[in-house]
Structure 1
Amino acid sequence: MIFVSGGGGVGGAELIGPPKAVLELFTSQGCPFSPDADRLVSQLAERGDVIALNYHVDYWDYIGWKDTFGNPANAELQRNYAALWGASKLYTPQLVISGTSGMLGSDETGAVKAIEAAGMMRQVELVQNGDSLNIIIPEHAGGRPSVVWLVTYIEQETVSIEAGDNAGRTLSYDHIVTNRAPLAALGAGMGAQFSLEIGRALPELKTGLAILVQEDIGGMPGPITGANAFER
């Protein structure tokens, strides 16, 4: 995970450097194949050069267990990726690398290869000043119009699954997405600068946020070209 601190105040951590990739895992507590992918993405996040975000979907809730983190907005994001890529079906676990390609979420070899081949062309600077987090996105030549997304998440939580295919298991989850909202729309190559109040964006401890610059392709989510993250 990538962090920035400008000294003092609420939370913060050391600046490590720009991420090589953003890992978006579409997962479900009701899917028997998801736990292996959940563990893999947790391990990959420990590399220190990726941002991991786990989106729990709700479309398997009908088979016996309602995902405690499931959100129809997460399934909609996955559906939009599928539509852009011409895919006809949704599945879990699916791992999306920087908005450019999807693969089976437990495919460690494929994930590592994709991360090593990835890179961020846009810089996203996060500077903490007390309870404010300043977000600076410099101008960048080329590229498509983009959307700046604020994605909030819970760092870690453990859940006892009482029904469905994973009944009887106690599973640990991390980087659990709680909300994804647009902060700004950028024309091609445009930069931006704005600030967030950390206490409002992250009212609870052990939570975090990611700032993603993602190309907009006819209203669909394209490649993620810049990213950074901050945790309380």
Structure 2
Amino acid sequence: MAKTLKTLLHIAMAVGAISVFSGQIANAGDTKPAGVVELFTSQGCSSCPPADAVLGELVEQGDVVALAYHVDYWNYLGWEDTLSSKQSTERQYGYAKTLGRKSVYTPQVIVNGRDHINGSDKNGINHKVAAFDDSGRGLTVPVAASTDGDKIKISIGSGQGKANVVIVYFDEKNTIDVKRGENRGRQLTYWNSVRDIQTVAMWEGEAIELDVPRSVMSAGGYKGCAILLQTMKSKGVPGAIIGATVVMNGGST
């Protein structure tokens, strides 16, 4: 009996993961990620490959929104990260202000926009996600999205406070041959690497529905996007994430 129950649980978890990361995400209420894990990494950082692998495991785990932001401040070390951007670096420095830190580091993970941890510590990351969820500081506002022709349809439930609706576009998988720098000679795989970040609307506590052009995702060749409902500490300074979901660019437009 125990073996049968364990098998059924594994099947249920697999189905849940498929519903989150399939071409069209499940409707509101069908799937709720436990939290948002944002990794700040670099191809030029010798300490980052273990954290990049952990992020891939979290993607496979299927119960969190997992994103990799490639920063550009290590590019001087001899290898320019092919996925890096100033936008990713600015986001990490914004979190440093939020958390009262004077510096940033790689590999750094931010959980729910609320706390940081070394990106290689998978158990610690999962513990933080669970602790925030248990304490009511997880994803408390329902968010759902789906592709519909040339649109991405977003549905956000009601709740307390105000927040930005942020769309984070990402590649699903990149395998890079690093030819110089600290990781020279290594072939590294990266998951859910962020390529663009856009704020598309404001949420003020009431349920809303939005349509945004799917063309941004399709034209950029991005495999998917995360919709984050994120409070702001001040202009340009990201705060707590209170709702999130993922939609993949599957099927024809």
Q: Same fold (TM over 0.5)?
A: yes
Deviates more, 1:45-54 or 1:20-29: 45-54
Q: Which of the numbers 6, 9, 12 marks the counterpart of 2:24?
A: 12
SS in 2 for 1:181: strand
Q: Which of the numbers 158, 175, 178 marks the counterpart of 2:192?
A: 175
Q: Which of the numbers 88, 91, 95 marks the counterpart of 1:81?
A: 95
Question: Where does residue 145 of structure 2 map in the other structure?
Answer: 126
Runs of 4+ in 1 over 2 A off after TM superposition: 1-5, 11-16, 127-133, 196-206
Tell me by how many angstroms 1:4 deviates.
7.5
1:101 aligns with 2:115: yes
Q: Which of the numbers 150, 156, 159 marks the counterpart of 2:167?
A: 150
Deviates more, 1:207-216 or 1:40-49: 40-49
Question: Where does residue 43 of structure 1 map in the other structure?
Answer: 57
Report the aligned-residue RMSD: 1.9
Higher helix share: 2
Tell me by how many angstroms 1:205 deviates.
5.6
- CA distance 1:200–1:221, change in 2 (3 Å): closer
Question: Where does residue 214 of structure 2 map in the other structure?
Answer: 198
SS in 2 for 1:195: strand
- CA distance 1:98–1:202, change in 2 (3 Å): farther
Question: Where does residue 216 of structure 1 map in the other structure?
Answer: 232
Q: Which of the numbers 223, 226, 235 marks the counterpart of 1:207?
A: 223
Alpha-carbon displacement from aligned partner over 1:53-73 (angstroms, at most 9, x marks no partner)? 100000001111100011011
One-letter code aligned to 1:98: N
Question: Where does residue 28 of structure 1 map in the other structure?
Answer: 42
Tell me by how many angstroms 1:192 deviates.
2.5
Tell me by how many angstroms 1:201 deviates.
2.7
Question: Where does residue 106 of structure 2 map in the other structure?
Answer: 92
Mapped contact 1:99–1:223 kept (Cα < 8 A): yes
- Percent of matched pairs sharing the same residue: 35
Tell me by how many angstroms 1:43 deviates.
0.3
SS in 1 for 2:54: helix
Tell me by how many angstroms 1:115 deviates.
1.9
* Partner Cα separation in structure 2 for residue 175 and residue 200 of structure 1: 16
* Partner Cα separation in structure 1 for residue 121 and residue 89 of structure 2: 21
1:67 aligns with 2:86: no
One-letter code aligned to 1:138: G
SS in 2 for 1:209: strand
1:138 aligns with 2:157: yes
One-letter code aligned to 1:75: T
Question: Where does residue 245 of structure 2 map in the other structure?
Answer: 228
Mapped contact 1:152–1:202 kept (Cα < 8 A): no
Tell me by how many angstroms 1:14 deviates.
5.2
- CA distance 1:104–1:4, change in 2 (3 Å): closer
- CA distance 1:222–1:63, change in 2 (3 Å): same
Gaps of 5+ in 2: 1-16
- CA distance 1:204–1:84, change in 2 (3 Å): closer
* Partner Cα separation in structure 1 for residue 206 and residue 21 of structure 2: 22
* Partner Cα separation in structure 1 for residue 179 and residue 245 of structure 2: 36
Question: Where does residue 58 of structure 1 map in the other structure?
Answer: 72
